[in-house]
Amino acid sequence: MNQNEIRIGMVGYQFMGKAHSHAYRDLPFYFDMKVKPVLKAISGRNEVAVKEAADKMGWESYEIDWRRLIEREDIDVIDIVTPNHTHAEIAIAAVEAGKHIITEKPLALTLEEAQRMYDAVQQNNVTHMICHNYRFAPAVQFTKKLIEEGRLGRIYHFRADYLQDFIMDPQFPLVWRLKKEVSGSGALGDIGAHSIDLARYLVGEFKEVVSMMETFVKKRPIGEMSGGLSATSDDTSSLGEVTVDDAVAFLARFENGAMGTFEATRFAGGNRNKNKFEINGEKGSVRWDMENMNNLEVYFGDDEPGLQGFRLINCTEEIHPYTGAYWPAGHIIGYEHTFIHLLYEFLNGIAEDYQPAPNFEDGLKN
Closest CB to ligand NAD among residues 13, 360: 13
CB nearer to ligand NAD: pick between 282 and 291:
291
Least distance (Å) between residue 283 CB and ligand NAD: 32
Q: Which is nearer to ligand NAD, 131 or 347 (CB)?
A: 131
Nearer to ligand NAD among residue 76 and residue 190 (C-beta): 190
Shortest distance (Å) from residue 198 CB to ligand NAD: 12
**Shortest spacing between CB 16 and ligand NAD, in angstroms:** 3
CA distance 356 to 102: 11
Which of residues 66 and 299 has its CB atom nearest to ligand NAD in the complex?
Answer: 66
Q: Are 88 and 11 in contact (CB under 8 A)?
A: no
End-to-end CA distance of the chain: 35
- Shortest reach from residue 12's CB to ligand NAD, in Å: 3
With CA atoms as reference, report the closest residue to 8 among 33, 34, 35, 29.
35
The least CB distance from residue 254 to ligand NAD, in Å, is 23
Min dist. Cβ of residue 54 to ligand NAD (A): 12
CB of 219 to ligand NAD, least distance (A): 21
118 Cβ contact partners less than 8 Å away, ≥ 6 residues apart: 360, 361, 363, 364
Distance between CA atoms of residues 320 and 331, nearest Å: 13
Residue 220's alpha-carbon distances to 213, 223, 230, 244, 366, in angstroms, are 19, 9, 15, 12, 29
Instruction: Enumerate binding residues for ligand NAD (CB under 6 A).
Output: 12-17, 44-45, 81-84, 86, 104-105, 131, 133, 190, 225
- Residue 170 or 227 having the CB closest to ligand NAD: 227
Nearer to ligand NAD, 17 or 186 (CB): 17
